[in-house]
Structure 1
Amino acid sequence: MSIPQQIQNYVLSIDEPKRNEIEVLHQMILKINPKIQLWFENGLNEEGKVISNPNIGYGTYTINYANGKTKDFFRIGLSANTKGISVYIMGIEDKKYLLDNFGSTIGKAKVTGYCINFKTIHDIQLEVLAEVLKFGLEQE
């Protein structure tokens, strides 16, 4: 199954109103970069056990492990979860950057070193989230 089809199936599996909100965010990211590489992580390990929530991924980021190995991964991640929605910005070296630059203006959201969590898109300033996404994608 193609990645766009996997993403569509994932979005359709989410209950409303969160489904619509994930679709709004997905389209926002595609508008920022229509040709961006898409990823889909189903949240299962090699044995088929759930290890995380499914994620829609955007862009590319190379993870460099301490043992010298590398792994290609997505730069931006989007995931629905039981508490709301999470947006991941991977590969930020300054773990205070998101909080210091967007934490006071994004709205009602928990901002950590690489993640922004919120209950609904109505709790945040979408214009500020768009700036976060642009920042994340510029890191490629």
Structure 2
Amino acid sequence: MKAEEQIKAYIDSQREPKRTEMQNLHQRMLQILPGGKLWFLDGKDDTGKVVTNPNIGYGTFDIYYKDGSNKEFYQIGLSGNTTGISVYIMGLKDKKNLPNNFGTTIGKASVTGYCIKFKTLEDINLEVLEAAIRYGIEQTSS
């Protein structure tokens, strides 16, 4: 199944109002990164064991490891979780940047070094979320 089909099925599987909110965020991401690579990770490891929530990914950048190896990964991730929605901003070198620059103005959300987690879109300032996403994309674009 193509990523687009997996993404649609994943969003459709969510209960309301999360389904509508994730669809809204998905559409915003397609506008922010037009033509960007779409990813869908089902949350399972190579043995089929569930190790994380499924993730929708947008864009692409290379992760470099200490051993010199690297792999392609998404820049921004979107996932439904048990209490709401998580937006992952990958590849940031300074893990204090998101909480320091966006954590105090985004609204009712938990902001870590790479994740913005909130219960509902009504709890956050969407302009601040979009600014954080654009910041992350800028940091990982060549």
TM over 0.5: yes
TM-score, length-scaled by structure 1: 0.97
Q: Which amino acid aligns with 1:34?
A: P
The alignment partner of 1:116 has SS state of: strand
The alignment partner of 2:78 has SS state of: strand
The alignment partner of 2:62 has SS state of: strand
Report the counterpart of residue 117 of structure 1 in structure 2: 117
Cα offsets for 1:85-137 (capped at 9, x unmatched)? 10000010111100111111100000000000001111000011111111111
Cα offsets for 1:51-102 (capped at 9, x unmatched)? 0000000011211122221111101000000011100000101111001111
**How much identity, in percent, do the aligned residues show?**
57
Counterpart mapping for 1:1-140 below 5 A: 1-139=1-139, 140=141
Residue 35 of structure 1 deviates from its aligned partner by 1.1
Q: Which amino acid aligns with 1:55?
A: N
**Structure 2: segments with no counterpart, 5+ residues:** none
Q: Measure the CA separation in 2 of the matches of 1:136 and 1:76.
A: 8
Q: Which amino acid aligns with 2:112?
A: T
Moved beyond 4 Å, runs of 4+ = none
Q: Measure the CA separation in 1 of the matches of 2:92 and 2:137.
A: 11
Taking only aligned residues, the RMSD between alpha carbons, in angstroms, comes to 0.8
Q: Measure the CA separation in 2 of the matches of 1:10 and 1:121.
A: 18
How many residues align structurally? 140
Residue 33 of structure 1 deviates from its aligned partner by 2.0
**Structure 1: segments with no counterpart, 5+ residues:** none
Q: Which amino acid aligns with 2:24?
A: V
